[in-house]
Amino acid sequence: MSPVDEAILRPSEVAEATRVRLLDAGGAELAEHGAAVLTVRRVAHRAGVSPATAYKVFASKEHLIAAVFLTHLRGAPGEEPDDRMPVEDRIAGYVDGLVSALAGGRALDSALRTVFLGDDPAARRIRDSVIADFEDRFRRVCGDDLPGPARRTARLLLAGALVLAGLGLDDPAEARAELARAVGELRAGQTPSRSDAPSG
């Protein structure tokens, strides 16, 4: 198994191509029908495999949803942010990529609830990988533009925007716009004004 498979799927003899098909089918079911309708059996049928095969890969419905979330998180657009863009645009682009990869608000809602509020042991293991990926991507998105306290504040703002959008409390587009505005103000606060700049 690859490192990604070890983090998100049950060890089994199921072929890699079949595991990928199941993850793709899970993502499509989640995007089209939401978590309420999704079952491991439906995903197995969509992927063209037996339920018994699917259960060799996913321990439960929660495990499947969490695995889909991590897979799409890692495949979201913007893997290497353009450091010529303002940091607030790079962070907003990170949100765009994640929402786009999860095919909209309903899928993001279901996935976030499962990853961060679910009780399934396999899903909880994935949570650690999600957090590690979040930290790594945030570090790359920020680059050197937000040092110290400003970076910590931006991290909290990003996490809050994702949670609010994911739980359906904020529209993703509105959360993105507010996030960009707030991070822009943070960045501006790190830049000395003419009156604060050392005199030559």
DSSP state of 85: S
Q: Given this model, what pLDDT does residue 196 score?
A: 42
Number of domains in the chain: 2
Q: Would residue 159 count as lying in a domain? A: yes
Letter string b/e over residues 38-72, b meaning 16 or more CB atoms within 10 A of that residue's CB: bebebbbebbebeeebbbbbbbbbbbbbbbbbbbb
What digits encode the pLDDT tens for the residues 160-182? 887 777 666 777 788 888 888 88
CATH of the domain at 9: 1.10.10.60
Asked if 105 and 151 sit in the same domain, the reply is yes
Supply the pLDDT for residue 178. Answer: 87
Do 172 and 74 share a structural domain? yes
Q: Are residues 96 and 143 in the same domain?
A: yes
Q: Is residue 198 in some structural domain? A: no
Shared-domain flag, residues 95 and 130: yes
Residues 21, 91, single domain; the answer is no
- Say if residue 10 is in the same domain as residue 93: no
Confidence grade of residue 45 (pLDDT, cut at 50, 70, 90) = very high
Q: Is 200 a residue whose pLDDT tops 50? A: no
pLDDT in tens, 147-156: 888 888 988 8
| Structure tokens, 93 | 């682009």
Give the model's pLDDT for residue 46: 96
pTM: 0.65
195/48: higher pLDDT? 48
**Would you say residue 196 lies in a domain?**
no
Domain contains 170: yes
Q: Is the confidence at residue 10, as pLDDT, over 70?
A: no
Instruction: Say what the pLDDT of residue 106 is.
Output: 58
Domain with 177 in it: 70-190
Of the three residues 31, 61, 91, the one that is the final residue of a domain is 61
**Within a domain: residue 199?**
no
> What is the average pLDDT score of the chain?
77
| 95 contacts: CB under 8 Å, gap ≥ 6 | 158, 161, 162, 165, 172, 175, 176, 179
